[in-house]
Amino acid sequence: MLKVVKESKNPELLVVTPLYTGHKISRDTKVGLLRNDINFAWVSYESNGSTSKNYAEGIKAYRERYYTPRYTILIDKDVIPDRHMLDDMYNTLKKTDDQIAFCYCNFEFKGTINKRFFHIAYDPLLLIYGNFISSNSMIKLDKLDEIGGVVTDKRYDRLSDWALWLSFLSYGYYGMLCDHTSFVDISTKSSVSSGSENEYRATSELIKRDFIDPLISGIII
């Protein structure tokens, strides 16, 4: 179900918050995102589906009813962003050339998981070894369309964001770090990132087989 959180006429950016049924966007997330100057629309999409599926459905439903902006970003319900985080990421991404499909920023998990990902410049080889890019990254919507959209196959649910960044790479598109902003993502036991180690390993093997092995054998990076 699509719900408009913040309306805007002809927005440059569409923010989508995927919600599992019954979940709500935190106050800190709402307050933090509204501290931006960019013209953006914000919707949530709620269902029993996965985060990636709800993100994809949110983009689709918004574009069918309203307008197609140039950029989109997934924002989790418990993200605490720096002031002007969206502005900083937008100003970084809009200056990039055609080879850059998305930009990401520094982030930190707090809660069930406590881990920092700071100052990691984009490197295709590093991405093949493991994901260092949050799903909360800003994407050029035309490039997302070109690669076939968000990765929503249930087999990759635990690591669907990694699969997406690898999909961009398979099309010859890179990402860029916006190093002067960040956010905190509050992790709980129900968070996708808090799944079991066995589940993580099994999904990693699928990612290796379906995304990384074809890259290594078919593309010179």
Give the structural domain span for 150: 2-218
Q: Is 167's pLDDT higher than 60?
A: yes
C-beta atoms surrounding 50 within 10 Å: 19
Contact 69, 13 (CB under 8 A): yes
Please tell me whether residue 158 adopts helix, strand or coil conformation: helix
Q: What is the DSSP letter of 131?
A: -
Please report, for the domain that includes residue 128, its CATH number.
3.90.550.10
**How confident is the model at residue 3, as a pLDDT?**
97
Give residue 51's pLDDT band: very low, low, confident or very high (50, 70, 90).
very high
Average pLDDT on 100-106 reads 98
Q: Which residues fall within 8 angstroms of residue 106, CB to CB, at 6 or more apart? A: 116, 117, 118, 119, 177, 179, 181, 182, 183
> Strands 100-111 and 138-140, how do they pair?
antiparallel
- Kindly state the tokens that stand for 53: 């599926």
E-only strand ranges, the chain: 2-6, 13-20, 40-47, 71-74, 79-81, 100-111, 115-117, 138-140, 174-187
Global pTM reads 0.94
Distance CA 153, CA 147 (A): 14
**How confident is the model at residue 189, as a pLDDT?**
66
Give residue 187's pLDDT band: very low, low, confident or very high (50, 70, 90).
confident
Q: How far is CA 108 from the centre of its chain?
A: 14
Q: What is the DSSP letter of 103?
A: E
Question: What's the whole-number average pLDDT of the chain?
Answer: 94
Which tens digits make up the pLDDT trace of 2-33? 999 999 999 999 999 999 999 999 999 999 99
Give residue 221's pLDDT band: very low, low, confident or very high (50, 70, 90).
very low
**How confident is the model at residue 207, as a pLDDT?**
97
Q: Is 220's pLDDT higher than 60?
A: no
Rg, the chain, Cα only = 16
Contact 85, 73 (CB under 8 A): no
User: What's the number of domains the chain is made of?
Assistant: 1
